[in-house]
Structure 1
Amino acid sequence: MVGTGPGDAADLSPRALQALQEARVIVGYKTYIQLLAPLLTPEKEVISTGMTGEVDRCRQAIDRARAGNSVALVSSGDPGVYGMAGLALELLEQEGLLETLAVEIIPGITSATAAAARLGAPLMHDFVVISLSDLLTPWDLIEKRLALAAAGDFVIVLYNPASHKRTGQLARAREIMLQHKRPDTPAGIVRNAYRAEESVTVTNLEHLLECPVDMLSIVIIGNRETRRAGRFLVTPRGYRL
């Protein structure tokens, strides 16, 4: 399982690049495969599927590996953070292959840290990462986690803040966070981090909904100490200056 980072080849780790070069078969979501296209030589077998095809991708990767191929199952970001690693391990366990096949999980730069780097240093203190997608997690549980994270004054990183079908989740998340965080709490939105279409917006919790977001966006909400430093966001760690 290979983490390919935000999408730019410059942010691909040497270990991940080596795995892609050595693999006979590359399996992944079609958008991520397209980002890797310059690295994929003609002799490689490439298997790509669309959204919601995760189980099928994993099964095809396992089938190719059982046939003796070196397979790279790719995830953007890190495969162990909302990626394919967990599902792949569950399927390998289900089929009794965990001790039979050679399995390696190669980390990558995940969206939370990629977006944070574009915003400055908002994750310098304790933070939580919460996905607003209720496709696999009940919404009432997501709301509970949001409330507890906000009450604990964590910096909050939101994955999957909106999609074509999900348009009200971010507004509800903001409503919950405003019960515990000040309206002027700094916030940032990064879309397509480190890709050609990248956009970076610094705002605050009060004006968060005025900024467009989609599935390619990461939203970071600061804690009570987070502040603006020029064009950056900083959450002080507490060092004496």
Structure 2
Amino acid sequence: MVKVVVLGAHGKVAQITEKFLLADKDVETSLFLRNADRMADKKDQAKIFEGDATDEAQLEKAIKGQDVVYANLGGAKDIDLEAEAVVEAMHNDKVKRLIWISTIGIYDEVPGKFGEWNKSQLGDYITDYAKAAKRIEDSGLDYTIIRPTWMTDKNEVDYEKSKKGQPITDTEVSRKSVAAYIYHLIKNPKEAIDESIGLGKPGSEGDKPSWY
């Protein structure tokens, strides 16, 4: 039995991941989000915690006793503060395994016209997420950072991985693919420790995602 808490449980990727988790009898799932009423339909399947991810004390209540923390947090304005609070709460609760969702471009790893387009679209978002990722990398936790490229709602699992330092040229990946990889890591918690993994759909190279 693996115990996992999902931070930012109402996010789109998080909700797909939760379908995998809640269907697995060998996973005990907890959900952490700002408005617990949004997950009222899950109260018989998971423990639900209401709180702000910048609040260390509120995070500690949800993280205590967990095996894996999966952080699907958003909002560039607060992401570095959220990273700081998550790291401190995990240290205080003596929980080591963290799966952290970031974005592409934080290492300037997107080359060519797609890289230029990505920077023009994300702007300061990249800078803020890079700060948060650096905080995670320096945390001493057993982390995996996941950097999905631009996400679609396609009902498919089709992805390839790249490591930190490798260029990302894939322009898209499905949210279901990202969720499937997160679920894989939760079930295989010793895999990809202290790594930053880019995720993209093979064959989706271009100057920008196909729908733009």
Query: If the length of structure 2 is used for normalisation, what is the TM-score?
Result: 0.34
Considering fraction of residues, name the structure with more helix.
Answer: 2
Provide the TM-score with structure 1 as the length reference.
0.31
